[in-house]
Amino acid sequence: MNCILPGLNIKVLSKAIHALAKVGDDLYLEAHEDRLTLITLNLRKTICVRYHLLDSFFSNYEVNKNELNEQCSAITCKIHMKILLPLFKGAHLEKKLEFIKLEYESDSDVIIFKMKFKCDDILMTHRLRLMETESLSIEFKPDAGSNNILGSSSFFNQLLTMFSNTDDEITFEISKEKVVVRNYIVGATVTANSVRSQVNLNRSEFSKFEINKETAINFCLRPLRTAIQFAEGFNLNIGINFEVGGKPLTLIMKNPTFEVNFIVATLNPYSDLQSSMATSSIPTKITQLAHENINLSLEDRQALNEEWDDWEMDTEENNPKRAKLDMNIKKDKNRKGKGKCKKFNLPSDPVPMDVDGEDMDVLPPSPESPRTKKAKLVFGRCFEPTFTETSFGEVLAPNSDSE
């Protein structure tokens, strides 16, 4: 493999490697005949990220076709992420570097990165040690799902601002007319310090909204945050392709020269609660949870029974307890002025009296501390109101000046 990356595309490669490092610790490189693919997996194998850099992404892309066959359709190698990250540290690398050249042979145990700097024609060569070669077989197709949603990166970023940064998971309840986004699952236990948020999105707010099957999907928020951060840097749209809860979900970002896929494992949060609800719609499932013998919290029942679209402040009609309290306050106000109040003429300087009418003993002040006594002894002259010359003693000689 021999490819040259121009300076204009170095920013894309740098952002891609930093995004991959947030997901996994190892990086897989697959050099196909028409593209270079960067792949990483998390430890639990629930998130897979793939960056497809097409041959048009490089100014020069060469792969030895003799090493490609039916059994091995790509030249593969594996490298640890911590070894690769220091090469792409720093801001504005695209302004400092003229190009980056990658060299790798299938029988070699190193991969070579040559960086050509614009100033002083400096060529820096990095030989990175490779790990034991492994090949990945990911047969999942990113566009295999029957449901598709498309929106801009800024739209999804505004959606995430509605939720806390401490939220780990998110739930999409998808119908043919809208999407309900929650940071909690109806019926699940909720911690005391958690903030429950819910956002209703109509289909008109998306650039593309094709739903063939209603479902509910719960997945991790970390890959979504990483995808939005990468897409915002290049003003890319984010497409969400999925089938049902329990099957993988794909976040897709496309550019004429590269394509990004975030494959995320999902689950249906309501499938385990009642299996007979598989044929009913998502709103019907949630309504059934509220009326059947399932351990729902008081907050869940209030959230399900609440009309979020026509929500108003508490009034006497929808909050009888609040109305009763306001009524009692009004009655107390009306009572003022009707009753007779006794007046007490207190003396200007009241004297404390005991039960028998005698003067109460006044408590003596607290004694001074030894430190206060010592300070008055040393600085006693400072506490005197006046100062006289006689304190110096007898004057032995007058002043020599005539004045």
Write out pLDDT tens, residues 24-66: 999 999 999 999 999 999 999 899 999 999 999 999 999 988 8
Residue 303 corresponds to which tokens in the numbers above? 């959230």
AA letter at 153: S
Q: Is 21 a domain residue?
A: yes
Q: What is the pLDDT of residues 95-137, one digit of tens each?
A: 889 999 999 988 889 999 999 998 878 899 999 999 987 777 7
Distance of CA 294 to the CA centre of its chain: 31
Look at strands 35-41 and 47-54 and give their pairing: antiparallel
Q: Are 211 and 175 in contact (CB under 8 A)?
A: yes
Same domain membership, residue 290 and residue 154: yes
d(C-alpha 317, C-alpha 322), whole Å: 9
* Residue 132 region by backbone torsions, left for phi larger than 0, else alpha for psi between -120 and 50, else beta: beta
d(C-alpha 15, C-alpha 53), whole Å: 13
At residue 305, the pLDDT reads 53
Residue 222 corresponds to which tokens in the numbers above? 């970390």
Q: Is the pLDDT of residue 219 over 80?
A: yes
d(C-alpha 2, C-alpha 227), whole Å: 29
AA letter at 384: E
Same domain membership, residue 153 and residue 125: no
Same domain membership, residue 198 and residue 94: no
Which residues span the domain enclosing 27? Answer: 2-129
Dihedral (CA of 41, 19, 152, 194) sign: positive
CATH of the domain at 16: 3.70.10.10
Q: Determine the average pLDDT of the residues in 156-167.
A: 91
Same domain membership, residue 157 and residue 80: no
Q: Is 60 a domain residue?
A: yes
Helix or strand holding residue 375 (H, E): helix 370-378
Same domain membership, residue 52 and residue 163: no
Same domain membership, residue 185 and residue 118: no
At residue 323, the pLDDT reads 40
d(C-alpha 350, C-alpha 47), whole Å: 80
Which of 272, 305, 338 is the last residue before a domain boundary? 305
Same domain membership, residue 67 and residue 215: no
Cβ neighbors of 125 (< 8 A, separation 6 or more) are 112, 113, 114, 115
Q: Is 215 a domain residue?
A: yes
Is the pLDDT higher at 312 or at 362?
A: 362
Same domain membership, residue 295 and residue 244: yes
Same domain membership, residue 162 and residue 125: no
Q: Is 32 a domain residue?
A: yes
d(C-alpha 85, C-alpha 113), whole Å: 12
Same domain membership, residue 172 and residue 61: no
Q: Determine the average pLDDT of the residues in 196-221.
A: 93
DSSP secondary structure, 197-252, as one string: -EEEEEGGGSSEEE-SS-EEEEEESHHHHHHHHHHHHHT-EEEEEE-STTS-EEEE
Same domain membership, residue 153 and residue 289: yes
Total structural domains within the chain: 2
Rounded to a whole number, what is the distance in angstroms from the first to the last CA of the chain? 105
At residue 300, the pLDDT reads 58
Token pair 């948020």 is at which residue? 197
d(C-alpha 271, C-alpha 96), whole Å: 53
Same domain membership, residue 89 and residue 167: no
Q: Is 330 a domain residue?
A: no
DSSP secondary structure, 113-159, as one string: EEEEESGGG-EEEEEEEP-----------TT--SEEEEEEHHHHHHH
Q: Determine the average pLDDT of the residues in 173-194.
A: 83
